[in-house]
Amino acid sequence: MLGKKRSQDFNYKFEHHWGGEDTWYTKGKRWANKQKFPINHLALGFIEWLWEHWVDGKVQMTMTTVDQQANAILDEWDEQEKKRPTILSRESEVEGLPELRISSPYRPRESYDFPLDTREWYQGPLEVFEETEEGTDDGETDSTV
């Protein structure tokens, strides 16, 4: 019994996967490391080469998707730009006070269309209070007698 016992000849290398996603790359490397010399060297080289090309392809596909999303956002912004109201202005008779015309794409043009030359916007009197020599006459009497 001078020879080695089977229990003394125990030589096992183990690997443990510490969480995360077990991808084809990690599975392939684990498989290649378990093979004997000429196969493990070739398999590891091939897996590394394949991994680099796979990452490049994945980046290309993602960039294409990002470009498509950017174009969709630009189209959406163009549509929103068309829906914004337009504001037209021109000088009026009063200095520093322009006449404005606002059109909205949400309401039909006929419902608010009016020429800028008409003065029918305000129908009331232009002067609310009458100016007198003593001050403003608003209908109240002076109570300081």
Read off the pLDDT of residues 44-57 as tens digits, 9 standing for 90 and up: 999 999 999 999 99
* Residue 43: inside a domain: yes
Provide, for the chain, the percentages of residues in helix, strand and coil under a 3-state DSSP scheme, each rounded to the nearest 5. Answer: 45, 10, 45
Is the confidence at residue 115, as pLDDT, over 80? no
Residue 145: band (very low, low, confident or very high) from pLDDT cuts 50, 70, 90 = very low
Number of domains composing the chain: 1
**pLDDT score, position 131:** 61
* Residue 77: inside a domain: yes
Q: What is the enclosing helix (H) or strand (E) of 130?
A: strand 130-132
Mean pLDDT of 120-125: 55
* Residue 119: inside a domain: no
- Answer left, alpha or beta for residue 99, where phi above 0 means left and psi between -120 and 50 means alpha: beta
* Residue 123: inside a domain: no
* Residue 135: inside a domain: no
**pLDDT score, position 110:** 52
* Residue 124: inside a domain: no
Residue 34 structural domain: 21-111
* Residue 13: inside a domain: no
* Residue 93: inside a domain: yes
